[in-house]
């Protein structure tokens, strides 16, 4: 299955469900202006209770590198996601694996990722200069596919159970990032939407297992 990050986690029960469904990562937003903001102490408690195979990713927007590294240490993050206008030199100063968001607009080209630090994994999201992320807006999958052939890419932006299968087939991303597409409201995940999302990802990336499960159900 394509690795999935459930982002915007604010509650323990949502994180545990993500782990049970097969999430590779859970994301915590440490940007205070986000409706999904969570305090580092809360995130640390949630992450400490999760199975060790589920990594924590911290989302930051144009925040001081010293603050980012300190929160990463306190929470025990496996990676940091820089979702603002952070330059390559800032990415290189992070003490954790770096995921760098590139916010695509209608006029974007594959060259949009050229300035991203070579040590970072690219995350593609839709441009919103105010909310920065978690908007539910879909990126151009044709453009995303071209970028995914050039760089290791995590696809975000408007993904939900009804669309993620097609996105996986068209873009073939390294990973998937979903937040609003599995929510009942910002920061509150909907269990049925999360389950449907993982079912759709499995169906798109592991059709043999899906077919075997269907045959077993019919036997």
> Annotated catalytic sites, by residue?
7, 125
Which of 36, 72, 60 has the alpha carbon at shortest distance from 187?
Answer: 36
Please provide residue 105's backbone torsions phi and psi, each rounded to the nearest 5 degrees: -115, 180
Token pair 């496996």 is at which residue? Answer: 78
Residues 6+ apart with CB under 8 A from 56: 25, 26, 27, 28, 43, 47, 50, 75, 76, 77, 78, 79
Measured at the alpha carbon of residue 80, what is the angle toward residues 78 and 81, in degrees to the nearest 5? 135
User: Would you list the DSSP string of 26-85?
Assistant: EEEE--TTSTTB--HHHHHHHHHTS-TTSEEEEEESS--HHHHHHHHHHHT-SEEEE-S-
HSE at residue 187, side-chain half, CA atoms within 13 A, is 12
> 3-class SS at 185?
strand
Token pair 């990594």 is at which residue? Answer: 55
User: How far apart are alpha carbons 165 and 203 in whole angstroms?
Assistant: 7
């Amino acid at each position: 299955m394509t690795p999935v990050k459930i982002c915007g986690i604010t509650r323990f029960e949502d994180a545990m469900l993500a782990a049970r469904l097969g999430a590779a990562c859970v994301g915590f937003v440490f940007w205070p202006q986000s409706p999904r903001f969570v305090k580092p102490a809360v995130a640390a408690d949630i992450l400490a209770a999760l199975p060790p195979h589920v990594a924590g990713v911290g989302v930051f927007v144009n925040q001081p590198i010293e603050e980012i590294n300190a929160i990463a240490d306190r929470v025990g993050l496996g990676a940091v996601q820089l979702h603002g206008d952070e330059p390559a030199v800032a990415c290189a100063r992070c003490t954790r694996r770096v995921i760098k968001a590139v916010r695509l607009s209608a006029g974007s080209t594959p060259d949009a990722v050229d300035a991203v630090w070579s040590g970072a994994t690219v995350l593609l999201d839709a441009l919103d200069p105010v909310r920065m992320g978690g908007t539910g807006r879909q990126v151009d999958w044709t453009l995303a596919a071209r970028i995914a052939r050039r760089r290791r890419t995590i696809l975000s932006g408007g993904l939900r159970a009804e669309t993620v299968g097609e996105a996986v087939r068209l873009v073939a991303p390294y990973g998937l990032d979903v937040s609003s597409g599995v929510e009942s409201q910002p920061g509150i995940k909907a269990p049925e939407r999360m389950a449907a999302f993982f079912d759709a990802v499995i169906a798109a990336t592991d059709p043999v297992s899906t077919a075997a499960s269907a045959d077993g159900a019919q036997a």
